[in-house]
Structure 1
């Protein structure tokens, strides 16, 4: 599902560490898919792990506030891996 980071997209603005993190996650994701783990299961597990980490680091309210911003960001295409940036 994930190609190696292409140098385009939302992670470019945030610098090298997030780019590196995405590359590690992409590699793990691809290995799991090669081992037969379903994409939907990977997505759900990833969301759970990310949200649980945010709750642990920032608390319930801050995490809920962050999540409340996601619908508009999703609709604007920020999380679309096929999106072409000009």
Structure 2
């Protein structure tokens, strides 16, 4: 993996939220690299998306339980509709 952590490494004195945000950004970069490699190997984007959702939800259920995961998923429609997951949206 060739991702460098230096530009995302938490600086001294950062809040736990900012540190967590930096770690999530690094994790997203790892996932993007794996996703790109899978596409290059011929896997369909929809298959990757379904597998990723399954893996994420199964992890949340294991870590937080069925109810907490269901509550999180129940919030997704509004978050999707407001563009939170739209990578092409323009922030003003």
Report the TM-score when normalising by structure 2: 0.78
Q: Does 1:44 align with 2:46?
A: no
- Structure label with greater radius of gyration: 2
Picking from 70, 82, 89, the partner of 1:83 is: 89
Shift of residue 85, structure 1, vs aligned partner: 1.1
How many Å separate the matches in 2 of 1:44 and 1:15?
Answer: 24
How many Å separate the matches in 1 of 2:38 and 2:60?
Answer: 23
Query: What is the match of residue 10 of structure 1?
Result: none
What is the alpha-carbon root mean square deviation over aligned residues?
1.1
Structure 1: give runs of 5+ residues left out of the alignment.
Answer: 1-12
Q: How many residues are paired up?
A: 74
Shift of residue 60, structure 1, vs aligned partner: 0.2
Higher RCO, 1 vs 2 (CA within 8 Å, ≥6 residues apart):
1
Q: Which contiguous aligned blocks of 4+ residues in structure 1 show a shift greater than 6 angstroms?
A: none
Report the TM-score when normalising by structure 1: 0.83
How many Å separate the matches in 1 of 2:60 and 2:36?
Answer: 24
Q: Does 1:27 align with 2:33?
A: yes
